[in-house]
Structure 1
Amino acid sequence: MSLTNRILISLALMALAGFAVLLNPILDRVERQYLEATEEPMVDVAEILAALLSHQGGHAILAPEAWRSGMESVKAKPLNAKIYNLMKDKVLMDFYITDAAGRLIYDSGVVGQVGEDFSIYLDVARTLRGEYGARSSRLDEADPTSSVMYVGAPIVNDGEIIGVLTVYKPQRSMLLFIIETKQRLIRLGLLAVGLVLLLGWLLSKWVTQPLRRLTAYAAAVSRGERPPAPVMPGRHLRILGESTEAMREALENRKYVESYVQSLTHEMKSPIAGIRGAAELLQEDLPAAKRTQFLANIELESARLQNLVDQLLALASLENRTELGDPVEIELSALIRRIVNHHESSRLNKKIHFELQLSDECRVEGERFLLETALNNLLQNAIDFSPLEGRIEIRAWLEGRQVAISICDEGPGIPEFALERIFDRFYSLPRPHSERRSSGLGLCFAREAVELHRGSLQVGNRQQQAGAEAVIRLPQL
């Protein structure tokens, strides 16, 4: 599992856990809060109505006729009151009156019958004892929405409680407010979780982006590439990036030395054996012609060793560089023509025809010596593998914001088994005519020089006809 997914899953779990821990008690509190808000004005109404009855005088409690007719009128009257999202179409609050013994005297609703004993209910019993009397009871025990709230107030005469007036109201009318509030809280909670996840995703991207760059860098190094070291933010990540780069250099240098020693030893065996054999033979009594031949062999093999050492030094110096020295503007068409003229002798010896298609707009910024050496090595390979009277095509053109250079020959092409090794140091194929091999450093040098110029070099076989093709792409000036 990726680090980004780990961070997102962790934040999602924490957000959901926090959402559940925080929202559950809030949702529970919402219902209670609405009930408290409803009960408080019911206390006022009950006390006001009880106070009105307390001043009618005497110990006999009777519901005034005006109250009876008024309640019947108000229940028959249609309402059109829009309270936020609730459309109220009738009065839902009622009241009943009981005497000092708790027997029902009057009920504006349908709770009980006149004369019924209500002293068993908390609102009546507690109020008669001089306490705060309130209760909530279900009309249907199986239906939690059938609860009715009751609030009682004492009817007093000469300091004596002579009865109770209880105001009651069904809770069903508050359900819409409660449900709407709960739904709104849940939506806000889910939105908060979504925002946390979004911020977590952005945070994970911000945290893992440097690690992804470092991972891509390590993968490129493992493929044998030489990418620039990534710039890491923060002290710890910067130290990690610098340590990774230092480790790469240490491992690369160790592998580089080991590979060079093995390859160099292999390449030097042949000329050293030739020099040693010729020297041993020269110690014997030989004819002058043979001595001249063996001395020529010693000179040839010595020159071969010297060329190998020079190329190794040039390649080692190039591989240790990370940027250009003093880049200048280079007109590639002129540079290519000069390189072609340098190989005029090869043109005459093998009767090779050079076909040039060069655009004068191809200009790059770089080191002239490195690019000239790279192009010279590629052209020399094309000449070595070209048949007699063959044709070599050299083109240079603009390709978007890049300059492309192509060198094609009509030789046998590159065998399938060698395509993946042509850039290896000291690896070379025998030339068709002489069967001799080169040092195997030319293509490696060319690629290093092109990549130092932030370009790319591709070598492969031509698609439509026989021969090999080398393509260089460099940033346009």
Structure 2
Amino acid sequence: MRIGLRILLGYFLIVALAAFLLMRVFTQEIKPGVRQAMEDTLADTANVLAELATDDFLAGRIDDGRFAARVRALRARDIGANIWGFRKAQAEYRIYVTDAEGLVVFDSAGRDLGRDYSRWNDVLLTLRGQYGARSTLSDPDDDSSSVMYVAAPIRDGNRVVGVLTVAKPNSAIAPFIARSERTILRWGFVLLGSALAVGLLAAWWLSRQLGGLRRYADKVTAGERATLPDAAGEFADLGRALETMRERLEGKQYVERYVHALTHELKAPLAAVRGASELLESPLPEADRLRFATNVREQSERMAQMIDKLLALAAVEHRQRIEQPTAIDVPTLIDAAVAPFADCGVQVQLHTADASGLRIRGDAFLLRQLLSNLVDNACAFSPAGGVVEVEALSDGARLQISVSDRGPGVPDYALPRVFERFFSLPRPNGRSRSSGLGLAFAAEAATLHGGGVRLEHREGGGTRAVVELPLPTIG
């Protein structure tokens, strides 16, 4: 499982669990809280009504006195209230009064007059001088039919002589409880949705940062050119640490590899110089002396060229990008690359009409050296008086420059290796091998510019070197 998905699942699980527990606590507290508020109101109401009913109760006219008449008139009153979006038309109170024995002497509903309520907690506890209340189902088979009863004592002095109970069905507050639960659930789902969106965004950002660093590390491991990805915060610090580590490790390995390669390649010319110098120490005919001296000079030049080219190759291989690319006119670039070979014993023909006006972006020096290496290679393998053709074409997206010769061509076995460092083939007419670094430089320079170079057989004999480079987009 990818790290971004693991982070998302872990984050969402924590938020979902917290939201679930929070909503569960809220929903579990809504009903008790509302009922506690209703009980508090009923307790106040019962005590107020008990005071108002005391005179009629002590006078023995509790069922037909002014108190009873006013309570019964309450049922016909249109309240016409709008309470938080719910209309209330009638009072839902039921009021009954019991005597000191617990017998009902007044019932606003008119149904239980004369019944014995002495065993109900509201009456029983109040007659004992305690707080009396109960909640009872009016229909044993319906859990939503519960009714809350809250009682208050009717006193004659300090003596409890009766009980007034106010009853109200819990269903009266059910709409408020249901609406509160719906509101909590709705906002709970909004919270979960928002948490999921934030989690997705955070997981995407983390995955993007880590993915960029991982791809960078993979490219470095594979030996490819890699640009440090844009990052923020700690990821930027981590990227810079990786970049520093890469540069130091690559620098060390690069030096070790090139020291080994250079040591190996310098053995042959050094051996030739040593042998010639030993022979020159003894008397020699003038012709032999000149031949050995010439050999020393040629081998010395070969070593100097090898070191120069090796340094140039090392410089281009070590670069990860073109730091300050400039616009370069293609025909001008080709003319500058071909100019040094005007007197090389081979005719160089240019076909750049199709590239007129084309410009590419890059490092002019590297591109000029790239093409010069290809032209130099073509001239070296062309027969005396031969022709090397340089052609530039474009398809609108890429520039293709080809350098073709009519030399002996490249053997099939050598095609996959011609761009390796120090790999070279025997030159025609017994001329010494090259350093084997020119084509390696060309390949590295082309790759650095986002393109590539290849060698292929030319129809009719010879070799064609093809360089492809991207053209800048317009618009």
Report the count of equivalent residues.
Answer: 468
Structure 1 alignment gaps of length 5 or more: none
Is the Cα–Cα contact under 8 Å of residues 56 and 67 in structure 2 kept in the other structure? Answer: no
| Matching residue of 1:380 | 376
1:34 and 2:34 are equivalent in the alignment: yes
Q: Measured at CA, do residues 422 and 221 of structure 1 come closer, stay the same or move farther in structure 2, by a change above 3 Å?
A: farther
Is the Cα–Cα contact under 8 Å of residues 356 and 395 in structure 1 kept in the other structure? Answer: yes
Per the normalisation by structure 1, the TM-score is: 0.77
1:175 deviation in Å?
2.0
Secondary structure of the corresponding residue to residue 155 of structure 1: strand
1:104 deviation in Å?
1.9
1:125 deviation in Å?
1.5
Whole-Å separation in 1 of the counterparts to 2:55 and 2:394: 111
1:376 deviation in Å?
1.0
Q: Measured at CA, do residues 93 and 30 of structure 1 come closer, stay the same or move farther in structure 2, by a change above 3 Å?
A: same
Q: Measured at CA, do residues 317 and 58 of structure 1 come closer, stay the same or move farther in structure 2, by a change above 3 Å?
A: closer
Whole-Å separation in 2 of the counterparts to 1:433 and 1:70: 134
1:293 deviation in Å?
6.2
Whole-Å separation in 2 of the counterparts to 1:390 and 1:430: 20
| Matching residue of 1:357 | 353
Q: Measured at CA, do residues 105 and 438 of structure 1 come closer, stay the same or move farther in structure 2, by a change above 3 Å?
A: farther
Q: 1:406 aligns with which of 401, 404, 408?
A: 401
Q: 1:264 aligns with which of 244, 247, 262?
A: 262
Is the Cα–Cα contact under 8 Å of residues 336 and 368 in structure 2 kept in the other structure? Answer: no
Whole-Å separation in 2 of the counterparts to 1:276 and 1:249: 38
1:118 deviation in Å?
0.9
| Matching residue of 2:175 | 176
Name which of structure 1's ranges 253-262 and 406-415 shifts more when overlaid on structure 2.
406-415
Whole-Å separation in 1 of the counterparts to 2:62 and 2:323: 112
| Matching residue of 1:339 | 337
Whole-Å separation in 2 of the counterparts to 1:177 and 1:341: 93
1:313 deviation in Å?
2.6
| Matching residue of 1:188 | 187
Question: Per-residue CA shift, 1:380-421, capped at 9, x if unaligned?
Answer: 345567899777453265957xx84532547868959855x6
Whole-Å separation in 1 of the counterparts to 2:330 and 2:165: 104
- % identity of equivalent residues: 34
Structure 2 alignment gaps of length 5 or more: none
| Matching residue of 2:120 | 121
| Matching residue of 2:314 | 316
Letter in 1 for 2:215: A
Q: In the TM superposition, what are the counterparts of 1:418-457 in structure 2 within 5 Å?
A: 418-419=415-416, 423-428=419-424, 438-449=434-445, 455-457=449-451
Q: Measured at CA, do residues 460 and 80 of structure 1 come closer, stay the same or move farther in structure 2, by a change above 3 Å?
A: farther
Is the Cα–Cα contact under 8 Å of residues 122 and 134 in structure 2 kept in the other structure? Answer: yes
| Matching residue of 2:466 | 469
Is the Cα–Cα contact under 8 Å of residues 57 and 157 in structure 1 kept in the other structure? Answer: no
1:25 and 2:25 are equivalent in the alignment: yes
Is the Cα–Cα contact under 8 Å of residues 404 and 473 in structure 1 kept in the other structure? Answer: yes
Is the Cα–Cα contact under 8 Å of residues 8 and 200 in structure 1 kept in the other structure? Answer: yes
1:325 deviation in Å?
9.8
1:216 and 2:209 are equivalent in the alignment: no
1:250 and 2:244 are equivalent in the alignment: no
Letter in 1 for 2:218: A
Is the Cα–Cα contact under 8 Å of residues 324 and 366 in structure 1 kept in the other structure? Answer: yes
Per the normalisation by structure 2, the TM-score is: 0.78
Question: Per-residue CA shift, 1:131-186, capped at 9, x if unaligned?
Answer: 32211122345543222111112233455433222111111232222122123223
Letter in 2 for 1:356: T
RMSD over aligned Cα atoms: 4.6
Whole-Å separation in 1 of the counterparts to 2:395 and 2:289: 57
Name which of structure 1's ranges 266-275 and 242-251 shifts more when overlaid on structure 2.
266-275
Question: Per-residue CA shift, 1:253-293, capped at 9, x if unaligned?
Answer: 22212321332244334445555676788899999877776
Is the Cα–Cα contact under 8 Å of residues 149 and 167 in structure 2 kept in the other structure? Answer: yes
1:460 and 2:457 are equivalent in the alignment: no
Whole-Å separation in 2 of the counterparts to 1:81 and 1:464: 100
Question: Per-residue CA shift, 1:289-346, capped at 9, x if unaligned?
Answer: 7777666555544433332122113333455567889987753322312333443456
Q: In the TM superposition, what are the counterparts of 1:63-212 in structure 2 within 5 Å?
A: 63-64=63-64, 83-86=83-86, 88=88, 91-109=91-109, 113-141=112-140, 143-203=142-202, 211-212=210-211
Q: 1:307 aligns with which of 302, 305, 311?
A: 305
Whole-Å separation in 2 of the counterparts to 1:184 and 1:293: 103
Q: In the TM superposition, what are the counterparts of 1:225-236 in structure 2 within 5 Å?
A: 225-229=224-228, 234=233
1:209 deviation in Å?
5.6
Letter in 2 for 1:176: P
Question: Per-residue CA shift, 1:9-60, capped at 9, x if unaligned?
Answer: 3432332343344433332221122112222332333233323321226353
Letter in 2 for 1:172: S
Whole-Å separation in 2 of the counterparts to 1:37 and 1:464: 98
Is the Cα–Cα contact under 8 Å of residues 362 and 398 in structure 1 kept in the other structure? Answer: no
Name which of structure 1's ranges 459-468 and 36-45 shifts more when overlaid on structure 2.
459-468
Q: Measured at CA, do residues 128 and 431 of structure 1 come closer, stay the same or move farther in structure 2, by a change above 3 Å?
A: farther
Whole-Å separation in 2 of the counterparts to 1:124 and 1:408: 114
